[in-house]
């Protein structure tokens, strides 16, 4: 067993009490063996990666934490001359893996540069940014299933990916031990750009293919400007990134909003529903960047209305209080329910 730190030191929003145990699993076999032991004990448990999508209660003294720290990146097979399947152990840093693929000239995840956290957590909410999603390239993963206590190989289709969503997030508990991705060698170029922001920043047309490193540099810059890249120098990055997902609503509901409310076609259901901008809804419900409830150490980021920031010493309750306030304002003004993106752990009322 390792020393027990408060989870505020292991989560990017820096809240969370001290659990009963933190076990750091440095190999796949350790991860499986220890997790099975914890499950057999019947005690409360939490799988922890980089802690960048978690808000943990200040009171978690009975929780047993399994910190995923198994490392390794290896090509496992070549589909053909230009496509390679790479297996990545769950404890690898996501952004480290992206940098690795770019150095190797492999395209497919370059626009997801700078997303914090581990590779093992990435499928849980089907991470995505700037026109790419994990589900575009993930082939399969190894999963220790809480229900069966057995190891299974899950194919991408088994995970029923959606926008910031997967079968695991919706309630299939377990532990991902490794993940396989299929990446492409496009002679050092990116996949066709699907982000207006990257295209505008690089001065190229949508759909253009540009050197992989250019995409990475552009994304890292765009992220830093929004406080969406972890940095000790940026107090706005003491967050979970976006605190709310963009609501997906019927066309009928979308039509009740003012004309200038941004609407995006939801590709997942052939346009039957519409994706709205949570940031627009929050701003237009009257909550501005930098807002905080009087006396609270939780605030809206000064760079992006979607992020809730710990300005220093906030409690988990203060973070949730601000989140609830935002939800109430948006619901009162637009009758739309904002859904938190991070996983909330140990709150009886969450």
Ligand X SMILES: Cc1cc2nc3c(=O)[nH]c(=O)nc-3n(C[C@H](O)[C@H](O)[C@H](O)COP(=O)(O)OP(=O)(O)OC[C@H]3O[C@@H](n4cnc5c(N)ncnc54)[C@H](O)[C@@H]3O)c2cc1C
Contact between 190 and ligand X by CB under 6 A: the answer reads no
**Tokens 């409360």, residue?**
44
Half-sphere exposure of 269 (CA within 13 A, CB side): 12
Is residue 240 involved in binding ligand X (CB under 6 A)? yes
- Write the CA distances from 17 to 58, 59, 308, integer angstroms: 4, 5, 19
**Residue whose pair of structure tokens reads 């093992």 in the numeric block:** 120
State CA 1 to chain mean position distance: 28
Among positions 22, 54, 222, 278, the unique one binding ligand X when judged by CB under 6 A: 54
Q: Dmax of the chain from CA atoms? A: 60
Establish whether 82 is a catalytic residue. no
Total residues contacting ligand X by CB under 6 A comes to 33
Kindly identify the residues of this chain, within the stretch 3-32, that bind ligand X according to CB under 6 A: 12
Residue of 135, 237, 239, 242 marked catalytic? 242
Q: Which two tokens stand for residue 197?
A: 């922001």
Distance of CA 199 to the CA centre of its chain: 23
Q: Which stretch binds ligand X (CB under 6 A): 33-41, 51-59, 249-257, 263-271?
A: 51-59
Choose which of 237, 266, 305, 315 interacts with ligand X (CB under 6 A).
237
Q: What is the dihedral of CA 324, 329, 333, 336, to 10 degrees?
A: -20
Strand duo 273-276 + 248-250: pairing: antiparallel
Residue 242 annotated among the catalytic residues of the structure: yes
Quick one: 321 or 343, whose CB is closer to ligand X?
Answer: 343
Per CB under 6 A, which of residues 98..137 are in contact with ligand X? Answer: 115-118, 120-122, 124-125, 127-129
The answer to whether 278 touches 246, Cβ cutoff 8 Å, is yes
Q: What is the footprint of ligand X within residues 265-304 (CB under 6 A)?
A: none
For the bound state, the minimum distance from the C-beta of residue 217 to ligand X, rounded and expressed in Å, comes to 16
Q: Is 318 a catalytic residue?
A: no
- Find the catalytic residue in 14, 64, 140, 164: 164
Task: Select the residue interacting with ligand X from 21, 343, 344, 350 (CB under 6 A).
Answer: 343
Does residue number 55 form part of the binding site for ligand X (CB under 6 A)?
no
* DSSP letter assigned to residue 308: E
* Residue 32: closest CA among 120, 96, 117, 94: 120
241/340 with CB nearer ligand X: 241
Active site residues: 164, 242, 341
Binding site for ligand X (CB under 6 A): 12, 46-54, 68, 90, 115-118, 120-122, 124-125, 127-129, 175-176, 228, 230, 237, 239-241, 343
């Amino acid at each position: 067993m390792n020393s027990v730190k408060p989870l505020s030191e292991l989560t990017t929003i820096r809240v969370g009490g001290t659990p009963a145990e933190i076990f750091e699993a440095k190999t796949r076999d350790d991860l499986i063996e220890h997790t099975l032991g914890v499950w057999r004990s019947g005690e409360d448990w939490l799988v922890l990666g980089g802690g960048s999508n978690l808000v943990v209660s200040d009171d978690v003294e009975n929780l047993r934490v399994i910190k995923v720290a198994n490392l390794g990146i290896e090509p496992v097979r070549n589909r053909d001359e230009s496509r390679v399947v790479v297996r990545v152990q769950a404890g690898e840093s996501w952004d480290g893996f992206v940098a690795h693929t770019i150095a190797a000239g492999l395209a497919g995840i370059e626009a997801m540069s700078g997303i914090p956290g581990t590779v093992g957590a990435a499928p849980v909410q089907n991470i995505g940014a700037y026109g790419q999603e994990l589900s575009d390239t993930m082939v399969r993963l190894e999963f220790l299933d809480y229900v069966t206590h057995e190891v299974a190989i899950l194919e991408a289709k088994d995970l029923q990916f959606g926008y910031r969503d997967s079968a695991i997030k919706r309630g299939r508990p377990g532990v991902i031990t490794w993940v396989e991705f299929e990446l492409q060698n496009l002679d050092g170029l990116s996949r066709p750009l699907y982000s207006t922001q990257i295209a505008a920043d690089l001065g190229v047309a949508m759909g253009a293919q540009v050197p992989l490193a250019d995409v990475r540099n552009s994304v890292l810059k765009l992220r830093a400007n929004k406080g969406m890249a972890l940095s000790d120098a940026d107090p706005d990055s003491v967050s979970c990134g976006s605190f709310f997902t963009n609501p997906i609503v019927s066309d009928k509901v979308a039509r009740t909003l003012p004309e200038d409310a941004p609407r995006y076609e939801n590709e997942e259901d052939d346009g039957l529903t519409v994706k709205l901008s949570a940031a627009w809804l929050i701003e237009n419900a009257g909550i501005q960047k930098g807002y905080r409830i009087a006396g609270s150490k939780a605030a809206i980021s000064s760079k992006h209305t979607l992020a809730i920031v710990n300005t220093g010493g906030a409690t988990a309750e203060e973070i949730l209080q601000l989140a609830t306030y935002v939800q109430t304002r948006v619901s009162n003004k637009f009758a739309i329910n904002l859904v938190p993106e991070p996983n909330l752990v140990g709150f009886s009322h969450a």
